[in-house]
């Protein structure tokens, strides 16, 4: 389902991918898990534009993969094409992850709180769940090991952005403030890129804060769609920068010609 961006020649999925891509840098070393089209497209786009040395391990295995298209899984062997290394999971991957050599991890969740923690485990109580979700997978591991965390969500609404998680499957800034550092964990969430806006984290409290609003979105619209107060920075909140024609072409033609990224907007 493709959502047009008002006054721009692109759709929401494209805006989110490009925004993600621009947050990456030439020293980004990333991997990905299941159902991660926005970051996977973002890594590939960044590598093909401003960050040629960016490392991406497709499904955490296929280093420097360059698949001609993405399919119905970002965790499968179908996206390994063009890899320079098929790395071994127990030996290579977990060493690079634990050693923070892989420095970038992106996750989303059924619930996200103000500190960038996420829940992908249950709605309701763990022992008697109302809804049993897929589970955290490697989220509890990789969110503690990786210094640069990015959160994305294609469903910015009060069901997703909640005041209190039913379960903390993935670690963002924890309870906020110094919590992460006190546990000896590196870095923390950098940005949350959603269907409405981009948020960063206020340096002291580590609470979500407006960074930019997607075209046509207002602060009030976001606040209404969010189960907690999003901090408002000093000065005006800019509009999220639009993709360039070049970025759109590369994304549409080279990175994701079958528009697999729309699977995240089901």
Partner 1 sequence: MTKVRNLEDAVAMVPDGATIAIGGLSMNATPMAFVREVIRQEKRDLELLAIVNGMAIDWLVAAGCVRRVIAGLVSFEGLGLAPNFRRAVQAGTIEFEESSEHILISRLQAAARNLPFMPTKAGLGTDVLGINKGRLRVDSDPDTGEQYVAALPLPVDIAVVHVHEADEHGNARVNPKLIWMDSEVVNAATTTIVTTERIVPHRSFTAEPHRTTYPRFMVDAVVPAPWGAYPTSSFPEYTHDKSFYEEYVAAAGSGREEFELFFKNRVAGPATHAEFIDANGGAGKIIEIRRRTS
* Nearest distance from C-beta of residue 244 to partner 1, angstroms: 25
Residue 34 near partner 1 by CB under 8 A: yes
Q: Quick check: 51 and 28 in contact, CB under 8 A?
A: yes
Distinct helix (H) and strand (E) counts, the chain: 7, 13
- What are the two backbone dihedrals, phi and then psi, of residue 111, each rounded to the nearest 5 degrees? -130, 145
Residue 50 near partner 1 by CB under 8 A: no
Map the footprint of partner 1 across residues 157-196, applying CB under 8 A. Answer: 167-171, 174, 179-180, 183-186
Helix (H, G, I), strand (E, B) or coil at 140: helix
* Nearest distance from C-beta of residue 60 to a copy of itself, angstroms: 17
Residue 91 near a copy of itself by CB under 8 A: yes
Candidate residues 1, 4, 68, 134; the one interacting with partner 1 per rule CB under 8 A = 134
x-marked contacts with partner 1 along 5-24 as a string, rule CB under 8 A: --------------------
Residue 121 near partner 1 by CB under 8 A: yes
The binder of 148, among partner 1, a copy of itself, none, by C-beta within 5 to 8 A per type, is none
- Residues in contact with a copy of itself, counted by CB under 8 A, come to a total of 3
Q: Nearest-5° angle of CA 163, CA 237, CA 244?
A: 110
Closer residue to partner 1, CB minimum distance, 22 or 29: 29
Closer residue to partner 1, CB minimum distance, 82 or 233: 82
- Residue 146 pairs in a beta bridge with none
Stretch that binds a copy of itself, among 77-85, 87-95, 182-190, 196-204 (CB under 8 A): 87-95
Q: How far is CA 4 from the centre of its chain?
A: 21
The binder of 228, among a copy of itself, partner 1, none, by C-beta within 5 to 8 A per type, is none
x-marked contacts with a copy of itself along 220-259 as a string, rule CB under 8 A: ----------------------------------------
Produce one character per residue of 220-259: b if its CB has 16 or more CB atoms within 10 Å, e if not: eebeebbbbebeeeeeebeebebbeeebbebbeeebbeeb
Closer residue to partner 1, CB minimum distance, 94 or 228: 94
H helix intervals, the chain = 12-23, 37-48, 94-98, 139-145, 179-182, 219-224, 245-249
């Amino acid at each position: 389902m493709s959502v047009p961006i008002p006054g721009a020649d692109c759709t929401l999925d494209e805006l989110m991918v490009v925004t993600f891509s621009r947050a990456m840098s030439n020293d980004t070393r990333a991997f990905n898990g299941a159902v991660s089209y926005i970051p996977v497209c973002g890594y590939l786009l960044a590598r093909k534009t401003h960050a040629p040395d960016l490392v991406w391990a497709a499904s955490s295995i296929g280093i420097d993969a360059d698949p001609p298209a993405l399919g119905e899984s970002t965790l499968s062997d179908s996206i390994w094409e063009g890899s320079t290394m098929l790395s071994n999971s127990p030996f290579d991957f977990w060493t690079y992850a634990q050693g923070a050599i892989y420095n970038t991890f992106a996750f989303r969740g059924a619930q996200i709180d103000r500190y960038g923690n996420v829940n992908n485990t249950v709605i309701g109580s763990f022992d008697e769940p109302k809804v049993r979700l897929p589970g955290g997978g490697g989220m509890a591991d990789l969110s503690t090991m990786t210094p640069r965390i990015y959160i994305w969500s294609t469903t910015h609404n009060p069901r997703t952005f909640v005041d209190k998680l039913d379960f903390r499957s993935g670690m963002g800034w924890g309870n906020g403030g110094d919590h992460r550092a006190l546990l000896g964990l590196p870095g923390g969430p950098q940005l949350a890129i959603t269907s409405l806006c981009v948020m960063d984290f206020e340096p002291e409290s580590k609470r979500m804060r407006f960074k930019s609003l997607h075209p046509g979105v207002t602060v009030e619209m976001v606040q209404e769609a969010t189960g907690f107060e999003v901090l408002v920075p000093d000065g005006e909140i800019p509009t999220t920068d639009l993709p360039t024609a070049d970025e759109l072409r590369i994304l549409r033609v080279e990175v994701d010609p079958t528009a697999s990224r729309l699977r995240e907007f089901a």
